[in-house]
């Protein structure tokens, strides 16, 4: 060895590729690549960020007390069982690093959120990806993949990038069948968008067991992805672990202020949810009318299935030529698909038209 080397598994990790923001040469770009809320930053959060600029020479409240109190009030939860993070990604890393590790396997579904694989490998765990059915987590297969070495299981519900959702009854059945030493992480990043009655974001299961946690984020419907704020609701023993290992000042002054303000913005979540409920079906129907396949989604995005990698790449290039950026998902094992965020009405119309023109060019 001639120079400093990380543990060998670190170099098997492919850096996370986020949604791109610009198309070179386009004078206007429409960014539908990162599932950000359609309506931007809540005005009250903008004001809150502006109001703390003179305070940022001070360290933040490491315990995020006011923020946890506000979250507790908003969702009817005990603030003592909430831990905040620099995005929910931060918390996912902490779960992997403290409950995973060498000899401690992590189970996720085949097309599950990619951070689980990155953070799990970083921790030194073997990360087992379990095949899905119809791009939906197969809970029986995930259960069958659990061995005496398994310590963590991640389920994004709804999942990104597939959009598929697992009913609360099935999640409860999974929990009941899992060994008690397996921590179940329910990642409910898109919970606010779900309108189905058979959904629960995870609160009930966290309350009913001592080995289930729910993670949430301010990055999607609350429009604060750039601020990096997420949180989890967890049993006391898990809260205790997270508070030992997390960065002591992991959520910035501005992020805490913005999140508190965002929750108080009147009608914000209702507006985002109603827009999504109206425009996600419009987006899906428009793309389907062009003869393309769209997978069912409960999130603020749809997965368009172009059938082949070549077609997906061609569609992506065509959209880019119009300044429209969607998300390639080859890294998720879906090279034949593109993920499209539900944007504003005008953006939905433009991306639908682009897919329609693309399909027309490529027919026959």
Ligand X SMILES: *Cc1c(COP(=O)(O)O)cnc(C)c1O
Point out which residues bind ligand X (CB under 6 A): 35, 87-89, 113, 156, 160, 187, 189, 217, 219-220, 225, 230
Nearer to ligand X, 223 or 286 (CB): 223
Query: Nearest residue by C-beta to ligand X?
Result: 87
Nearer to ligand X, 136 or 160 (CB): 160
Nearer to ligand X, 303 or 354 (CB): 303
Q: In this structure, what token pair is assigned to residue 155?
A: 């389920």
Minimum separation from the CB atom of position 186 to ligand X (A): 11
Minimum separation from the CB atom of position 73 to ligand X (A): 20
Name the burial class of residue 8, with classes exposed (0-12), middle (13-18) and buried (19+) by CB atoms within 10 angstroms of its CB: exposed
- Cα–Cα distance, 115 to 150 (Å, whole number): 18
Minimum separation from the CB atom of position 105 to ligand X (A): 20
Minimum separation from the CB atom of position 103 to ligand X (A): 26
Q: β-pairing, 150-156 with 183-187?
A: parallel
Residues 6+ apart with CB under 8 A from 38: 272, 275, 276, 279, 300, 341, 342, 343, 344, 347
Q: What angle do CA 315, 159, 326 make, to 5 degrees?
A: 25
Residue 341 main-chain phi, psi, to 5 deg? -75, 145
Q: In a 3-state reduction of DSSP, which class is residue 65? A: helix
Nearer to ligand X, 113 or 122 (CB): 113
Nearer to ligand X, 165 or 182 (CB): 165
CA–centroid distance for 164 within its chain: 12
Nearer to ligand X, 84 or 312 (CB): 84
Minimum separation from the CB atom of position 106 to ligand X (A): 15
Q: Are 184 and 175 in contact (CB under 8 A)?
A: yes
Nearer to ligand X, 88 or 276 (CB): 88
Minimum separation from the CB atom of position 200 to ligand X (A): 16
Place of tokens 């985002």: 272
Minimum separation from the CB atom of position 119 to ligand X (A): 11
Nearer to ligand X, 191 or 359 (CB): 191
Closest CA to 182 of 205, 208, 154, 163: 154
Minimum separation from the CB atom of position 160 to ligand X (A): 3
Q: Are 178 and 105 in contact (CB under 8 A)?
A: no
What one-character-per-residue DSSP string does 79-138 give?
GGGEEEESHHHHHHHHHHHHH-BTTBEEEEETTS-HHHHHHHHHHT--EEEEPPBTTB--
């Amino acid at each position: 060895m001639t120079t400093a080397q990380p543990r060998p598994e670190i170099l098997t990790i492919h850096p996370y590729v986020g949604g791109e923001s610009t198309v070179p040469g386009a004078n206007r770009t429409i960014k539908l690549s990162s599932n950000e809320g359609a309506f931007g930053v809540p005005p009250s959060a903008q004001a809150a960020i502006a109001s703390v600029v003179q305070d940022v020479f001070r360290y933040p409240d490491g315990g995020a007390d006011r923020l946890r109190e506000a979250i507790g009030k908003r969702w009817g939860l005990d603030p003592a069982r909430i831990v905040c993070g620099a995005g929910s990604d931060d918390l996912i890393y902490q779960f992997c690093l403290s409950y995973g590790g060498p000899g401690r396997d992590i189970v996720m579904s085949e097309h599950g959120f990619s951070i689980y694989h990155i953070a799990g490998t970083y921790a030194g765990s073997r990360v087992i990806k379990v095949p899905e059915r119809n791009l939906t987590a197969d809970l029986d297969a995930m259960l069958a993949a659990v061995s005496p070495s398994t310590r963590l299981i991640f389920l994004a519900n709804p999942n990104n990038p597939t959009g598929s959702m697992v009913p609360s009854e099935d999640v409860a059945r999974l929990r009941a069948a899992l060994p008690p030493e397996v921590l179940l992480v329910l990642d409910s990043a898109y919970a606010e968008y779900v309108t189905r009655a058979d959904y629960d974001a995870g609160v009930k299961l966290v309350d009913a067991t001592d080995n289930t946690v729910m993670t949430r984020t301010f990055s999607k419907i609350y429009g604060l992805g750039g601020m990096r704020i997420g949180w989890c609701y967890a049993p006391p023993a898990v809260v205790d672990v997270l508070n030992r290992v997390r960065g002591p000042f992991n959520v910035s002054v501005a992020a805490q202020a913005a999140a508190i303000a965002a929750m108080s913005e009147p009608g914000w979540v209702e507006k985002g949810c109603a827009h999504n409920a109206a425009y996600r079906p419009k987006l899906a129907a428009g793309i389907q009318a062009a003869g393309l396949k769209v997978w069912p989604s409960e999130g603020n995005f749809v997965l368009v299935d172009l059938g082949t990698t070549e077609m997906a790449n061609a569609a992506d290039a065509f959209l880019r030529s119009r300044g429209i950026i969607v998300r390639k998902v080859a890294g998720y094992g879906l090279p034949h698909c593109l993920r499209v965020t539900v944007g504003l009405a005008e953006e939905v119309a433009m991306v639908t038209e682009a897919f329609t023109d693309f399909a027309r060019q490529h027919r026959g």
